[in-house]
Homo-oligomer: A and B are copies of this chain.
Amino acid sequence: MTTQETAVSLKRLIEAGDPLILWFDDGTTYYITVDPAKAHSIHCGRPIPLKDLVGKSYGSWIEFEPSNVKALLLEPTIEDFIMKARRESGIIYPKDAAVLMMHCGIRSGSRVIEVGVGSGALTLALTSQVAPNGKVYSYDIREDFMKLAAANLKKAKLADYVTFKTRTGHEPFEDEGVDAIVLDVPEPWHEAENAKKALRPGGRLASLNPTYNQIETMAGALERFGFIMIEAQEVLVRGILARPGKTRPEQRMVSHTEFMLFAVRPE
């Protein structure tokens, strides 16, 4: 049995340094790293000494005296890590990361290049997906971003599955024969040729960009460099309020994050 299976399925006891979502039934949640030397402020009672949480089980309730307020101790999912991570840049949303990885065939064991690390949101999704035997090679020009991303990965216990690499221009990637390459940069067309060299034949490229102009320019570059199966899409998630006798869609939604452009590198 590997370390990962242990982590996912059997480990129930919270240890010092573990990540934690604290959920209150008014919908309030806190994302906490369990540092026994610290306390965490909440909205409905005195600060919680985090050492009190060590040894408790994920999934169990904790009660706060004397208010009788209860909260649930939850192990964060990758979606939680992404949405709650400290960020200094835009992030890739879980919906987009999920559909992207499905479409590119990224799975446990895959080797993936990521260009444009930002706060590490997509890195969290990719590393969780390729673990325990795959690897993500994450390039960015900004060392401060990679430092932040590394901290976010460490909190999620996924740092082993990524190698961060500083890259200042558009030089070829160091890694070869990768299964997929994911571009989250403003001018992805500068990377079309490098991407082709780094991908194995049959490998898949994804580029995430917010504007129509970017995906249009990138689609042209991919065609010029011989990529095939070039297609683009957007993913919309709409909340539904399922309540007895009064079920309806939510009244507001996120209507745009990124367009996603996909392509395959032939031989």
Residues of A within 8 A of B (CB): 1-2, 4-5, 7-10, 12, 23, 25, 57-61, 72-75, 77-79, 94-95, 97-99, 101-105, 107-111, 125, 128-129, 131-134, 177-179, 200-204, 210-213, 215-216, 218-220, 228-257, 259, 261, 264-267
Contact = CB atoms under 8 A, between A and B. Distances in A.
A246 B259 CA distance: 13
Given A5-B133, A8-B134, 9 more contacts: A4-B108, A4-B109, A9-B178, A95-B235, A97-B102, A102-B125, A108-B129, A211-B245, A250-B256
B94 A264 contact: no
B108 A248 contact: no
Looking at chain A's contact residues, is the secondary structure mostly helix, strand, loop, or mixed?
mixed
Nearest to A81: B105
Give the interface centre of A77, A215, A249 by most chain B CB atoms within 10 Å: A249
A238 B215 contact: no
A178 B10 CA distance: 9
Give the interface centre of A94, A128, A256, A261 by most chain B CB atoms within 10 Å: A256
A230 to B, nearest CB: 7
A244 B216 contact: yes
A131 to B, nearest CB: 6
B236 A232 contact: no
A99 B237 contact: yes
Contact of A256 (B23, B59, B210, B251): B251
Contacts of A110: 8-9
B249 A255 contact: yes
